Amino acid sequence: MAAAQGRLSDGAGGMDEANEGDRDGSGTAPPVPPPFRAAVDALRAARLRPQVEVEPAPAPKKLAPFAYALEATVVDGEQDLADGRLVLLHDPAGHDAWRGTFRLVTLIRAELEPEMAADPLLPEVCWSWLTGALQARGLAYGEPSGTVTRASSHYFGGLAERPANSQIEIRASWTPREGRGGAPDTGAHLASWCDLLAQVAGLPPAGPGDASVVTLPQRRGPQAR
């Protein structure tokens, strides 16, 4: 399993261009805070299950002074089963809504069987998967918020031959509790997020300890890569 890689947006040391708002008016970006550096290093060193492929992603420029982003795809052979994006935000001054100096933000998408998409309890179940993935690894977090959206597409006219499809989308954010040195255990949060991504994709649990997890049935006709 390869270690996760990603893109650090801090404008220092020859790295990527600084986020908007990072500069102090003199045209220079502030130095990267040690807690943020440690949090990013932990993300880069995380070991993930082989079905989850992680790639660099541009970090958002306006959400926080410092940001780091990853994109991931759950693959089965040459087929993509689900995809997602995870962003680590850091504001050394703290943020009232976060109740901390770090925030994790995610978007996850996957296609569903139409029968599963019609389940009225599906949004609640998907949200419980997110919180359950964090709790399963014993992670402390606060201020969770988000939405679960399902949508169906039906095709007509020249597209009538295409089968109807349904999609689930999870948008969420939470505040990882800070540990020693002021940095949260971002590597464990990334692993938890990958557990959720794999679960939404319909993969079996990663280990014996996860045998009780109920997974989403694999979508019909996975998209070729």
**Comparing C-alpha atoms, which of 131, 142, 107 is closest to residue 192?**
131
- Residue 111: helix, strand or coil by DSSP? strand
What are the tens digits of pLDDT across the range 84-132?
999 999 999 988 999 999 999 999 999 887 677 777 888 899 999 999 9
What are the tens digits of pLDDT across the range 39-82?
999 999 888 888 888 887 999 988 999 999 999 999 887 778 89
Half-sphere exposure of 61 (CA within 13 A, CB side): 10
What are the tens digits of pLDDT across the range 160-190?
888 877 888 999 999 999 988 899 999 999 9
